[in-house]
A = this chain, B = another copy of it.
């Protein structure tokens, strides 16, 4: 089953930004890389050098909003020098451009990136695309074509709370993450995570593990055991807060995702030492979490603001640039 749109597949990809040598950072797990440039160009060459090496590809592409999104400078400089800037006084810079001719052009661009990402994944690996509920459906149909529907693993719903607005509709308070496996046959890499038990369960059963008691052929009743329950296996609806406006984690980069969200994905879908790839790096949340959890990382972005933000973030976490040529680029 395919999606059709006028001009499908005819879009020419134009790499508008230079593609330099990657910058390499020393981390607990070895090293991670930052690539500057159009991700499609970068992926074309990574397809040769990194085939089958990644356990997780996470991508957070633009959501087809039709706008240019801006990064907002921090209220105070990192070294606490200078005045505290508030409101409109905080400097703004264009971070990424999310304007498209139409949805067809958007899907063409995204689809070709996803196709280029697939070869990077190991047999046990998975890809997670982060989208909103307006685009998710089209992206799912596109990915079903690329990976095969058998490889669709989960629609994860990220539920958050935010300020209310007056609208004659149910407020939108969720994003969607689509997960695909590369292979429907290879045993997947998956570590079950647990959530606290529901309040009603705690009241009825306490914290002991429940066990069904079988009499004859049917389940007679349940009972609790002494063994403490680890909680409920994590479901596909995640309650994770947005990054608070004053949170230390906030970089000012638009569309920044909470570290807690990425931590769940990386813990569940990769082991220590595995490679995590993010072709829409942005503020570098995926990389920062991967580094903290001892995973290797590879990030790509064509926005200079994104590179600067990520470099600063990794440096602040103690990961040092170690390639000479990259150090020079960063210093320039």
Contact = CB atoms under 8 A, between A and B. Distances in A.
A169 B188 CA distance: 9
A133 B179 CA distance: 12
B134 A137 contact: no
Given A154-B169, A170-B156, A219 B87 contact: yes
A217 B88 contact: yes
A174 B137 contact: no
A234 interface: yes
Interface in A132-171: 133-134, 136-138, 140-141, 144, 152-157, 159, 161, 164-171
Contacts of A140: 137
Given A104-B1, A137-B137, A152-B134, A217 B168 contact: no
Given A3-B2, A104-B1, A154 B170 contact: yes
A12 interface: no
Contact of A164 (B5, B87, B136, B232): B232
Nearest to A181: B169
Interface string A274-313: 0000000000000000000000000000000000000000
Interface residues of A, number: 53
A323 interface: no
A60 to B, nearest CB: 18
Interface in A49-89: 86-88
Nearest to A178: B137
Interface core residue of A5, A157, A190 (most chain B CB under 10 Å)? A157
Interface string A109-131: 00000000000000000000000
A166 B232 CA distance: 11
Contacts of A165: 233
A73 B188 CA distance: 40
Contacts of A138: 1, 137, 141
A174 B157 contact: yes
A170 B219 contact: no
A173 interface: yes
16 contacts: A1-B3, A1-B4, A1-B138, A2-B4, A2-B5, A3-B141, A136-B137, A137-B137, A156-B170, A159-B159, A161-B232, A166-B233, A168-B187, A170-B235, A174-B237, A237-B237
By Cβ-Cβ distance, the 9 closest A-B pairs, closest first, are: A87-B218, A173-B235, A137-B140, A168-B190, A133-B155, A137-B137, A170-B236, A171-B235, A159-B237
